[in-house]
Amino acid sequence: MISESVSAYDVAVIGAGVFGCWTAYQLSRRGARVIVIDAYGPGNSRSSSGDESRIIRMGYGADEIYTRSAVRSLRLWKELFAQTGTPLFSQTGVLWLAHESDPYPLQTAATLSRVGVKCEVLTTDEAAGRYPQFAFDEISGAVFEPESGVLLARRAVQAVFQEAARIGVEYLPDAVVAPVAANKLESILTANGRRLSAQAFVFACGPWLPRLFPDLLAEKIRPTRQEVFYFGTPAGDARFGPPPMPTWIDFKDEAYGLPDIEGRGLKCATDRHGEPFDPDTGDRVASTEGLAAVRRYLSRRLPALKDAPLIESRVCQYENTSNGDFLIDRHPQFENVWLVGGGSGHGFKHGPAVGEYVAARIAGSSEGFEPRFSLASKKADRERAVY
């Protein structure tokens, strides 16, 4: 715990989600003195990095930028888990279900092949023979990523945070007051009256970003309410856990699911943007409408689970940019303030690569600069292009 007086750091990272923790870890590895500030703690249930599991897949259609980032990130996740002795990756494989007139899965296969990622293109009969749990109505084929799978999200964030703390990153449980200054930010004030100074500040606070910078980001990052559901599988029936059951993405139907991992139940959700959501005060009880929609999907795609009991449900949030690209850029009014967010429902897996990218930018490197992450590329109109 730090004292009430002003303390000087090289970098203060506001937000202990997956982007913030990986950024702090990468900065500390470069020799920086770093503090992380978060109101609720690493992996907390209000954060976009909460809940038990997240998909890590390499496929992004024709979008090679995110495929390469996911490949790099999976390697770094595995290295961290080996280093810390925390096996928090389940290699379930990821199955893309392809519909007629839906180019995304086949674009994914082409990109994976070009980048050198293992994948298999399956006919409908081949997929049905391998995965008889699924009903393949209206499915024209499938693409399988054998080396992808599931990250145990909440614990994975905490593992990064604990490793960062081990190498010297400090932590303050507190909220941060919106900064007011010009040109350069010298210090920040917390809700409990502490003032911290640093040479640079990274605001990686997910759905709280537009609240801290409303004039700049209120129309460019929109938190939305997202519901996920866990269903009980039949007693003694191993078909719905790995390895028989893969993680799957039904892109055209905007649905995805994860197998029963650690006995929590089969997880299923839709990937449509929900209603606007306040991460502090929003009620996190799932709706009957959301449950009904997922049940309709399950009864069609996994008919053996059409009457499966609901084990638990979660309400989290996306923090969407206009098109789904990340926001990683300098604040236009503060030369030493960096804005890092816009995970947009797909960002969790990329935490390691984002941490490396931010650390390099703060160090002054222009290598690997990606204009799609810039603030200037973010618009008010919603035209989602990254999934």
Same domain, 277 and 338: no
Any idea what the CATH number is for the domain that residue 354 is in? 3.50.50.60
Label the pairing between strands 34-38 and 170-173. parallel
Geometric angle at alpha carbon 168, from 164 and 173, rounded to 5°:
70
In a domain, 120, yes or no: yes
Question: Would the CA dihedral through 334, 355, 229, 295 be positive or negative?
Answer: positive
Same domain, 262 and 367: no
Domain boundary, last residue among 318, 344, 360: 318
Same domain, 250 and 281: yes
Same domain, 131 and 191: no
In a domain, 72, yes or no: no
Task: List, run by run, the mean pLDDT of 10-residue segments along the chain (387 residues).
Answer: 63 98 98 98 95 97 97 98 97 97 94 98 98 97 98 98 98 95 90 96 97 95 97 96 97 96 97 95 97 98 97 96 97 96 97 98 94 94 89
Same domain, 135 and 246: yes
Domain boundary, last residue among 269, 284, 318: 318
In a domain, 59, yes or no: no
Same domain, 294 and 332: no
User: Residue 304 has what pLDDT?
Assistant: 97
182-234 pLDDT per residue, tens: 789 999 999 999 999 999 999 999 999 999 999 999 999 999 999 999 999 99
In a domain, 383, yes or no: no
Same domain, 213 and 252: no
In a domain, 264, yes or no: yes
User: Residue 2 has what pLDDT?
Assistant: 41
Domain boundary, last residue among 299, 318, 337: 318
In a domain, 275, yes or no: yes
Distances 137 to 102, 103, 128, 145, 341 between C-alpha atoms, Å: 15, 18, 10, 21, 38
Considering its fold, how many domains does the chain have in total? 2
Any idea what the CATH number is for the domain that residue 246 is in? 3.30.9.10
In a domain, 58, yes or no: no
User: Residue 1 has what pLDDT?
Assistant: 39
Same domain, 175 and 122: no
Same domain, 133 and 239: yes
Same domain, 202 and 274: no
Taking alpha carbons only, the member of 358, 329, 251 closest to residue 24 is 358
Domain that holds residue 342: 7-49+154-221+323-377
Model confidence pTM above 0.75:
yes
What amino acid occupies position 94?
A: V
What is the maximum alpha-carbon separation in the chain?
68
Same domain, 311 and 335: no
